[in-house]
Amino acid sequence: MRVCVGTIVHHPEDARITHRQIRALLDAGHQVTFIAPFTHCNVTPPPEIRPIDVPRAVGLHRRKAIRAARSALKRGVKDADILLIHDIELLLALPRKRPPTVWDVHEDTAAAMEAKTYLPDPVRNILPPLVRGMEGRAERRMHLFLAEESYRERFVGDHPVIPNLTYVPDTPPPPPGDNRIVYIGQLAQARGAIEMIEIARRLRGHGVRLDLIGPADADIRPLLRDAQREGVLDWFGHVPNQHALRMAEGALAGLSLLHDLPNYRGSTPTKVIEYMARGIPVITTPLTRAASLVGRVDCGTIVPFGDVESVVSSVTQAVLRLRDNAERRNAMGARGYFEALHHYHWPLVSGEFVGHLERWADAPDASQARQPGRILPV
């Protein structure tokens, strides 16, 4: 099967797209054309794929990327058996003549508008209804994958859920240490970046450092640079997912301090599962699914939502309690690893992901090919 995969929003080394889905396709013997912003992100395409470079859609500057995507998609689908897109923006760039098309729905785009601080207020109010209309039209014209079970509520049909799992090592990772905490992912206000900077300052006097692994929003970068110059934290920027996870091993705890926003409420943050897979305790805000998972497994600490000072205080206390109790943090790390290995290991669903694409490529009519998806237990 020849698969064309496209994104103009995500990093070419996005964990879900590249390290899970494309890797599963290549391992199954399929050919992949990958349309992505390689030059913009300073990424060298891997030799196993056929790359097509496009500009990246960033902030309010998306028209150029969408225009370039139209041309790239026409090239990419010429000999493809199926097209897999990862951005709602690409719904505006699809060629009329194309193979069966699949949209992988990563997030609740309309709900995410609240966290996009670069959008003017009038635009932020106008866009959600337009986005919902685009979703409905896409559902009628193509196949969908959903990254979360909660996304089913936005759609009429029954679409397969391919959750954001991770690769879990076959052997237990090293036990948690006592002098370092870690965060993996995009650094943004809504994801707790300001709180984490203050946590790093607070913990400096206790001999605990913070490693931040991931790219940052434009308004957060100066704050991170200042904190790094102060020597209170280490910010590594974007690191390929498999390397970032290895860097996390041995940390005292992993942070997930997402704010109480609509786009996050129905989701299980991938970073929570990644911390569990690497045997480190989780410290998370009480988003329903994250708190349910961490509380059920007893693999971390749940801290309340609140203003910056209250969150900083709660997290600092949680970190120091873990630092001073090696038995407790080791047990949390071991429980998290065991749960991730048996329930959140990507190979548990990678075959299902590939199988859906193979069936849809053979049955171009979406109404004939659509089948209920299996939902992984949480």
Residue 257 covered by a domain: yes
Q: Are residues 67 and 151 in the same domain?
A: yes
CB atoms within 10 A of CB 262: 14
Structurally, the chain folds into a number of domains equal to 2
Q: Are residues 26 and 104 in the same domain?
A: yes
Q: Are residues 186 and 159 in the same domain?
A: no
Residue 207 covered by a domain: yes
Residue 44 covered by a domain: yes
What is the residue range of 283's domain? 180-343
For residue 259, give the CATH number of its domain: 3.40.50.2000
Distance CA 314, CA 306 (A): 10
Regions of the chain with pLDDT less than 70: 110-126, 363-378
What pLDDT, in 10s, does the model give residues 109-167? 766 666 666 666 666 666 777 878 888 899 999 999 999 998 898 899 999 999 999 99
What are the CA-CA distances from residue 70 to residues 4, 91, 131, 143, 164 (Å)?
13, 10, 19, 20, 28
Distance CA 160, CA 146 (A): 6
Q: Are residues 60 and 142 in the same domain?
A: yes
pTM higher than 0.85, yes or no?
A: yes
Residue 175 covered by a domain: no
Q: Are residues 362 and 220 in the same domain?
A: no
Residue 374 covered by a domain: no
Q: Are residues 298 and 351 in the same domain?
A: no
Indicate the length of the chain as a whole number.
378
Residue 154 covered by a domain: yes
- Determine contact, residues 215/40, Cβ cutoff 8 Å: no
Handedness of CA 335, 107, 8, 58 (dihedral sign): negative
Residue 75 covered by a domain: yes
- E strand residue ranges, the chain: 2-6, 31-36, 50-53, 82-85, 101-105, 143-146, 180-184, 209-213, 233-235, 253-256, 282-284, 300-302
What pLDDT, in 10s, does the model give residues 47-100? 999 999 999 998 777 889 999 999 999 999 999 999 999 999 999 999 999 999
Residue 173 covered by a domain: no
